[in-house]
Amino acid sequence: MSVLSGKNILLGVTAGIAAYKTAHLVRLFIKSGAQVKVVMTPASKDFVTPLTLATLSKNPVYSTFFDKNEEENEEWNSHVELGLWADYMLIAPATANTLSKMSNGICDNLLLASYLSAKCPVFFAPAMDLDMYQHPATSKSITKLKSFGNIFIPPASGELASGLVGEGRMEEPKNIVAFMEKDIIKGLPLYGKKVLITAGPTYEAIDPVRFIGNHSSGKMGFELAKKAANLGAEVILISGPSSETISNSLIKRMDVVTAEQMYNEAHKYFYLVDIAILSAAVSDYKPKEIAKNKIKKNTPTLSLELIKTKDILASLGVVKKNQFLVGFALETNNEIENAIAKLNKKNLDLIVLNSLNDKGAGFKKETNKVTIIDKFKNISEFGLKSKAEVASDIFNEILNKLYA
């Protein structure tokens, strides 16, 4: 999943030969999970058709202040609404003409009016011939736009439409998307941080076909991993058996089965991270002996001798240095008291309490209801929410503690 997923991107297209690349650019934005609207200068329609970009973006393409479908029915295209809709604006290709107008506040088409109305970060990717790009007037425009806080995507060097070779070629669409993703991530609150998350159940073998396990789906841990990545962190996700899936270049997933395997992986990476959230439902006990062959149903009863598994959370609390350590507590009675006792005993910075007494909370649910307690015994209670929203609440609490 890209950091652009769910974001609104307003793409401004100007009249340069590189406009043909915008079809691929729109496809890449859509593939990343973004919503795209395109605003074109009238002259840019000579290089790429609005129909192409409308089809790919699944939105109408805007190029004039009025859409004259019928003489008596003129529809106003609001540059203000377009500017407010966008989470990010990209002008690509940005010609020398448009760069000059942008830097001087000239507003003679819908694209420029939308640019001046935008409240979001604005990226621009110049495209022009070598001598035009090297002209002092163009350099002045770019410098001025950067001083406004606009984000410059440098052109590449290569063969230009004139046949010359040099700077001025618009950067390739895949590199533009990567540039934007990297720049956005740098501005996120957990950029440069590493987060360790455990998720799902663990399974403890009885024999080659049977195991002791629990009903955890892993969804809460996976939502935490997604949220951490969306905040800019590099994430190490250690998951027990789970059908949940995740795709994000910032998330490294490792699959384990047993509590012992999860213990080893958690200790392997704990010293590398800044934040650790142990949301996995780890088995507390495992069979002392694992039968080598399938146990036959030859007797009316079966006795298993169980021994304790290693306490992953407590063991990390012992070796903790500067890490911010978060645990989960699933309780059925004396919830607050038991959670605070666990918080203190295991040297945690924060504990997230779930109660099976709360309707809609617990395993195999799309929702959860939590109470978050910090090491100073400050208690924050939250209502029933989706697990994605709960993940946001948890990280809001962590960020408030880290940056208080």
Name which of 220, 249, 245 is nearest 235 in CA terms.
Answer: 249
The CATH class of 194-402 is alpha beta
- Two domains, one topology: 8-186 and 194-402: yes
According to the model, what pLDDT value does residue 99 have?
97
Q: Where are the domains of the chain?
A: 8-186, 194-402
Residues 53-79, buried b or exposed e (16+ Cβ, 10 A)?
bbebbeeebbbeeeeeeeeeeeeebeb
Topology of the domain comprising 8-186: Rossmann fold (3.40.50)
Q: Quick one: which H or E segment has residue 74?
A: strand 73-76
According to the model, what pLDDT value does residue 114 have?
94
Q: Tell me, what DSSP letter sits at residue 229?
A: H
Over residues 37-57, mean pLDDT: 95
By the 10 Å C-beta count (0-12 exposed, 13-18 middle, 19+ buried), 226 is classed as: buried
Q: Work out the widest C-alpha separation in the chain, in whole angstroms.
A: 91
CA 177 to chain CA mean position, Å: 15
The one-letter amino acid at 208: P
Residue 74 in this model has a pLDDT that exceeds 60: no
Name which of 98, 117, 94 is nearest 108 in CA terms.
Answer: 98
According to the model, what pLDDT value does residue 397 have?
95
Task: Render pLDDT for 322-354 as a digit per residue (tens, 0 to 9).
Answer: 999 999 998 778 889 999 999 999 999 999 998
Residue 293 in this model has a pLDDT that exceeds 80: yes
Task: Render pLDDT for 94-116 as a digit per residue (tens, 0 to 9).
Answer: 999 999 999 999 999 999 999 99
According to the model, what pLDDT value does residue 266 have?
98
The Cα 79–Cα 113 span in angstroms is 6
According to the model, what pLDDT value does residue 68 have?
61
According to the model, what pLDDT value does residue 258 have?
97
Task: Render pLDDT for 346-382 as a digit per residue (tens, 0 to 9).
Answer: 999 999 998 766 666 666 678 888 999 999 999 999 9
Report whether 118 contacts 145 (CB < 8 A).
no
Over residues 263-272, mean pLDDT: 97
Residue 73 in this model has a pLDDT that exceeds 90: no
Helix, strand or coil for residue 180?
helix
Task: Render pLDDT for 312-325 as a digit per residue (tens, 0 to 9).
Answer: 999 999 999 999 99
Cis peptide before 126 (omega within 30 of 0): no
- In percent, how much of the chain has pLDDT > 90? 77
The Cα 120–Cα 142 span in angstroms is 18
Task: Render pLDDT for 132-173 as a digit per residue (tens, 0 to 9).
Answer: 999 999 999 999 999 999 999 999 888 777 777 778 889 999
**Hey, what are 36's tokens?**
């795209």
Name which of 319, 318, 339, 315 is nearest 329 in CA terms.
Answer: 339
Over residues 55-75, mean pLDDT: 75
Helix, strand or coil for residue 368?
strand
* Residue whose pair of structure tokens reads 């410059």 in the numeric block: 152
Q: Which CA distances in Å does 345 have to 55, 315, 327, 334, 348?
A: 59, 11, 11, 16, 8
Q: Name the pTM for this structure.
A: 0.81
Give the pLDDT band of residue 252 (cuts 50, 70, 90). Answer: very high
Residues annotated as catalytic (active site), given as ranges: 214
227 or 81, greater pLDDT: 227
According to the model, what pLDDT value does residue 121 have?
96
Q: Which CA distances in Å does 195 have to 50, 120, 278, 348, 356?
A: 44, 28, 11, 15, 27
- Count CB neighbours of 334 within 10 A: 9
How confident is the prediction for the chain on average, in pLDDT? 91
Q: Where is average pLDDT lowest: 82-96, 162-176, 253-267? A: 162-176
Task: Render pLDDT for 190-214 as a digit per residue (tens, 0 to 9).
Answer: 999 999 999 999 999 999 999 999 9
Give the pLDDT band of residue 67 (cuts 50, 70, 90). Answer: low
Q: Quick one: which H or E segment has residue 183?
A: helix 173-186
The Cα 395–Cα 126 span in angstroms is 38
Report whether 38 contacts 26 (CB < 8 A).
yes
The Cα 395–Cα 400 span in angstroms is 8
66 or 257, greater pLDDT: 257
According to the model, what pLDDT value does residue 167 have?
83
Report whether 173 contacts 251 (CB < 8 A).
no
Residue 250 in this model has a pLDDT that exceeds 80: yes
